[in-house]
């Protein structure tokens, strides 16, 4: 399995800082997005700690050594570790008390032709295959719970005043429930990781049309960010794109 990948981040048009962080370890096939919260600068600290914990796992070499089942467990353990790292730092630094972050982490598993993911929060992973865009992760948000209960539609949830209220985040408690997932891959598939600064501005169908192109991932990433900014860019926008080549 071979792939190409690119990442782009942008503060958007209305925020002075950027509380998003990302990892694009192309050779290792490991990618991640973290969207920090807790106010400037604590949100930036939380998302950076999350991504650093993931980067350390990559540099330890684990991501290359195992099959999908074991890697999924290891990746989930890494996200659990990131939670403790952030919670500990918040406990030791009053200025960072209450900080938290999302983390959506993805590792390609060439030997099994799949990707494994570990996920907490409302940053998302999607797979575009044959013109169909499918959201792989489920948002850990209050509005998603309302959608699941039939109280809100997806479109209502996207613009709801409580749309950014998370039901799970890293760093805000010693315990966190981490979703572990697996997604099948084949040549031509395009994977997208993104923060909610993209999905709050664009409907899934708009994202799908913007990605329906053979352009390199870097060009597609720029196209997504430009489109989110054209809609107002109210939040930081981060995207990671991975295309499976063969
Ligand atoms: Ca955000």
Ion ligand 1 nearby residues (CB, 5 A): 35, 196-197, 235
Cis peptide before 225 (omega within 30 of 0): no
CA of 15 to the centre of ligand 1 (A): 10
**pLDDT score of 65:** 80
CA of 20 to the centre of ligand 1 (A): 7
CA of 142 to the centre of ligand 1 (A): 15
Return d(Cα 98, Cα 233) in angstroms, integer: 26
Tens place of pLDDT for every residue, the chain, 246 residues?
Answer: 999 999 999 999 999 999 999 999 999 999 999 999 987 789 999 999 999 999 999 998 877 789 999 999 999 999 999 999 999 999 999 999 999 999 999 999 999 999 999 999 999 999 999 999 999 999 999 999 999 999 999 989 988 999 989 999 999 999 999 999 999 999 999 999 999 999 999 999 999 999 999 999 999 999 999 999 999 999 999 999 999 999
CA of 102 to the centre of ligand 1 (A): 9
**pLDDT score of 25:** 97
pLDDT tens profile 196-238: 999 999 999 999 999 999 999 999 999 999 999 999 999 999 9
- Predicted TM-score of the model (pTM): 0.97
Backbone φ and ψ for 228, nearest 5 degrees, come out as -65, -40
**pLDDT score of 61:** 84
**pLDDT score of 35:** 98
Element (DSSP H or E) covering residue 175: none
**pLDDT score of 136:** 98
CA of 12 to the centre of ligand 1 (A): 10
CA of 78 to the centre of ligand 1 (A): 22
Return d(Cα 246, Cα 244) in angstroms, integer: 6
CA of 183 to the centre of ligand 1 (A): 25
Other Cβ atoms within 10 Å of 10 Cβ, number: 22
CA of 116 to the centre of ligand 1 (A): 23
By the 8 A CB rule, do 194 and 188 touch? no
**pLDDT score of 38:** 81
CA of 110 to the centre of ligand 1 (A): 31
CA of 200 to the centre of ligand 1 (A): 9
């Amino acid at each position: 399995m071979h792939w190409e990948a690119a990442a782009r981040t942008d503060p958007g048009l209305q925020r002075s800082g950027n509380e998003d962080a990302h990892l694009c370890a192309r050779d290792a096939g490991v990618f991640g997005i973290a969207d920090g919260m807790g106010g400037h600068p604590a949100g930036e600290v939380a998302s950076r700690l999350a991504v650093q914990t993931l980067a350390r796992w990559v540099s330890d070499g684990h991501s290359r050594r195992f099959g999908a089942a074991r890697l999924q467990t290891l990746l989930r353990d890494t996200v659990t570790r990131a939670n403790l790292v952030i919670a500990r730092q918040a406990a030791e630094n009053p200025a960072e008390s209450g900080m938290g972050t999302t983390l959506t982490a993805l590792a390609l598993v060439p030997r099994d032709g799949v990707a494994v993911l570990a996920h907490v929060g409302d940053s998302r992973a999607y797979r575009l295959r044959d013109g169909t865009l499918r959201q792989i992760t489920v948002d850990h948000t209050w509005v998603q719970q309302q959608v699941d209960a039939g109280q809100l539609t997806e479109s209502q949830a996207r613009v709801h005043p409580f749309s950014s209220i998370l039901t799970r985040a890293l760093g805000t408690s010693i315990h966190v429930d981490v979703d572990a997932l697996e997604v099948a891959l084949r040549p031509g598939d395009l994977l997208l990781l993104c923060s909610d600064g993209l999905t709050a501005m664009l409907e899934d169908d708009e994202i799908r049309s913007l990605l329906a192109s053979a352009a390199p991932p870097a060009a597609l990433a720029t196209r997504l960010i430009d489109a989110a900014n054209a809609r107002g860019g109210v939040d930081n926008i981060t995207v990671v794109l991975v295309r499976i080549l063969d």
